[in-house]
Structure 1
């Protein structure tokens, strides 16, 4: 966790030192640090529901054969 005077950012290292993984709890905590920007996600049930939707749509997944419980996007976001 990185702590700043105004907020904290919680992260965990994934396989091969990756830092782009997330789970519902980390997303929820981040939203709670910035409720003015992410009010919808200050409800853990909402975060879990939307994360489950992304899992069903194969937008995110856990890495195969890994002990990590983090999710990762299945495709990189392309910039226009």
Structure 2
């Protein structure tokens, strides 16, 4: 009779351990899924910023050509910055 009670306790502990393992596994899978979504959003944002930067470089290159044309034409272009302290 005592042995039967111990078997029942051990069995319930094993069932509880299995349930806890299933819960841990579900949490781990959910965390991996969330991490994958976060990485996908990060990569998407990174790509969009790269595309914006490429667009600005092409227009920025045109501005640089305008400055170099002005310098070669003999106009005085100052790029020296001044800082005044009060």
- TM-score, structure 2 as length reference: 0.21
**Could you say which structure has the greater relative contact order, defined with CA pairs below 8 angstroms and 6 or more residues apart?**
1
Larger Rg: 2
